[in-house]
Amino acid sequence: MGKFGGFGGGGANNMQALMRQAQKMQEEALRAQAEVDEAEVEGSASGNLVKVVMRGNKELVSLTIDPSIVDPDDVEMLEDMVMAAINDAQAKADDLRAEKMGRFGGMM
């Protein structure tokens, strides 16, 4: 087979180079994944009266509710605002993940 065919000579070197490149890309993907998981995004509702801070892995970090919107006679409205703020934060976490991890395709 010689120099231009089969897996002899340059083929093995090419395979090693491909393996190193794949390993490097996987390491970069893992670093990016960790970065996304630890990054924080903020979601809000009703003009920032309800705010949620969430990590990129969608772990809830904090929830802030402006006392002026707390109405014991309308708990349902408050619940809706909390859900809207959480959904906003989740969407931002998804956007962050897509932005940072998109170049790695289906690797992760």
CATH number (domain holding residue 28): 3.30.1310.10
Range of the domain at 58: 2-107
User: What Å distances lie between residue 37 and 6, 58, 59, 86, 103, CA to CA?
Assistant: 44, 8, 9, 16, 17
How far apart, in whole angstroms, are the C-alpha atoms of residue 1 and residue 91? Answer: 55
pLDDT of residue 4: 52
pLDDT of residue 104: 79
Q: Which residue has the tokens 């309308």?
A: 74
pLDDT of 105 over the 90 cut: no
DSSP 106: G
DSSP letters for 51-82:
EEEEETT--EEEEEE-GGG--TT-HHHHHHHH
Q: Confidence class of residue 22 from pLDDT cuts 50, 70 and 90?
A: confident
How far apart, in whole angstroms, are the C-alpha atoms of residue 103 and residue 29? Answer: 9
Domain count along the chain: 1
Burial group, residue 43, by CB count within 10 angstroms (0-12, 13-18, 19+): buried
pTM of structure? 0.71
pLDDT of 45 over the 90 cut: yes
| Bridge partners (DSSP) listed for residue 63 | 52
